[in-house]
Amino acid sequence: MSVQFSPVIDAQPRRIPAFSALQYIDLVALGVYGSPLAVLDDFRVQELPFSAHPHAGFAAVTYVFEDSASGVRSRTSTGADLVVGAGGIVWTQAGSGVIHEEVPAERGRELHGLQLFVNLSSKNKLSARGSSRLRPMMCRTGAATPVTGCEWSSGASTACPPRSCPMSPSRCST
């Protein structure tokens, strides 16, 4: 079995009001290497960048970088109101459709995050909507290694994304 690597694609700046910095990767340029990702943004924001807006047919995954001065607050039309801090993830399964909003958890403090849109398979496009919060965890390996996810060699998280996705090596069941 041969291992293939994607070409190196430089991040490009994108200008959107309210974002102090926004870099994105042109996933179209990656071709099959980018699948199933639809969006990959590295962002910094202090304001309220977007009002509530609709999503459907994919999962919006937001990771809060360790250097972020604020966590992220994620609210959805399903009633979810989640806050995660540095090292955490909010996983919003838009599925059949959800209205959602993500803002800095603390007004006036910068949120530094990474957002991925994971395209759902055709059989999951109309799946149930939901949101999960994955907090940073420490492995019991003797080293302080941060781990975010469902399973690793020495343990498991109590929080798993609503559905596993092709990118995830996790064996979460839903």
Q: Does any domain span residue 166?
A: no
Q: Which domain holds residue 105?
A: 12-136
For residue 22, the domain's CATH number is 2.60.120.10
Tokens 């838009």 map to which residue? 94
**10-residue mean pLDDT series, the chain (174 residues):** 68 76 74 74 84 89 94 93 92 92 92 91 87 70 50 47 42 36
Cα 137 to Cα 135: distance, rounded to the nearest angstrom: 6
What pTM was estimated for this model as a whole?
A: 0.71
> CA end-to-end span of the chain, whole Å?
31
Q: Is 97 left (phi over 0), alpha (psi -120 to 50) or beta?
A: left
Cα 35 to Cα 59: distance, rounded to the nearest angstrom: 13
pLDDT for res 120? 86
pLDDT for res 174? 34
pLDDT for res 137? 63
CA 173 distance to own-chain centroid: 19
Q: Does any domain span residue 1?
A: no
Tokens 């994304």 map to which residue? 161
Query: What total number of domains does the chain contain?
Result: 1
